Amino acid sequence: MFYGEIKKCDIANGEGVRVSLFVSGCTHHCPGCFNEATWDFCYGKEFTEETEEEILKALEPGYINGLSLLGGEPFEPRNQEALVPFLRRVRERYPEKNIWCYSGYLYDRELLSESRARCEYTDEMLSMLDVLVDGRFVESLKDITLVFRGSSNQRIIDVKKSLDRGEIVLWEPKVKRGM
Ligand code: SF4
């Protein structure tokens, strides 16, 4: 797997201060994509053992709330293959931190059902996530006032509750904004 960027102090892509990994490769090709260069699976740098260590170290400070995975598309099967062993390490070392993932694939219709994304790693990858922001970016539904998502079709899903209940449960912030 390759990645474009690691942000070590990101407040835009999930709750609290986070470490964000932007993986390379995306087959959705949404019109108006914010970063077309990341469609290429070989864009950026190779994701190695050293990259994993770098991210694990960046996750250590108490003020870091967790890890966010973005793309590109983290749920492209070849990216899942590289991310699952890494997520196991993150979960083991930091059980108290949360993991968010942004995917153009739909949770119910593509990740839990037969699709080009679904592979032997998908169930385990989903089981290690706390929050999934799903759905492709749709330019006509773009809304800059939305928090943690780019267009209004995208859903912020509480993955653990959704898997437990067998239905989609939307994520709710612990502290509601504006209150
Ligand atoms: S899913 Fe994201 S990275 Fe992929 S084409 Fe759409 S906006 Fe771009």
pLDDT in tens, 1-59: 999 999 999 999 999 999 999 999 999 999 888 889 999 999 999 999 999 999 999 99
- Regarding the beta carbon of 38 and ligand 1, being less than 6 Å apart is answered yes
Digit-coded pLDDT (tens) for 43-101? 999 999 999 999 999 999 999 999 999 999 999 999 999 999 999 999 999 999 999 99
Pocket flag, ligand 1, residue 29 (CB < 6 Å): yes
Q: Does domain 2-165 have CATH number 3.20.20.70?
A: yes
**Which residues share a beta bridge with 155?**
134
Distance from Cα 34 to the centre of ligand 1, integer Å:
7
Report, as an integer, the average pLDDT of 100-126: 98
Identity of the residue numbered 136? R
pLDDT attached to residue 70: 97
pTM: 0.95
Residue 179 reports pLDDT greater than 60: no
Choose the residue to mutate in 3, 38, 111 for probing ligand 1, maximizing ligand atoms within 8 Å of C-beta: 38
Task: Say if residue 178's pLDDT is above 90.
Answer: no
Within 13 A of 98's CA, how many CA atoms are on the CB side? 16
**CB of 136 closer than 6 angstroms to any ligand 1 atom:** yes
Q: What is the DSSP code string of 59-118?
A: T-STTEEEEEEESS-TTSHHHHHHHHHHHHHHHHH-TTSEEEEEESS-IIIIISSSSSS-
66 lines ligand 1 (CB under 6 A): no
State the amino acid at position 40 in one-letter form. Answer: D
DSSP percent split of the chain into helix, strand, coil, nearest 5: 30, 25, 45
- 74 CB less than 6 Å from ligand 1? no
Average pLDDT of the chain, as a whole number: 95
- Whether the per-residue pLDDT at 140 is higher than 60: the answer is yes
Binding site membership of 30 for ligand 1 (Cβ less than 6 Å)? yes
* pLDDT score for 35: 85
pLDDT exceeds cutoff 80 at 175: no
Q: CA geometry: angle at 174 spanning 18 and 99, to 5°?
A: 35
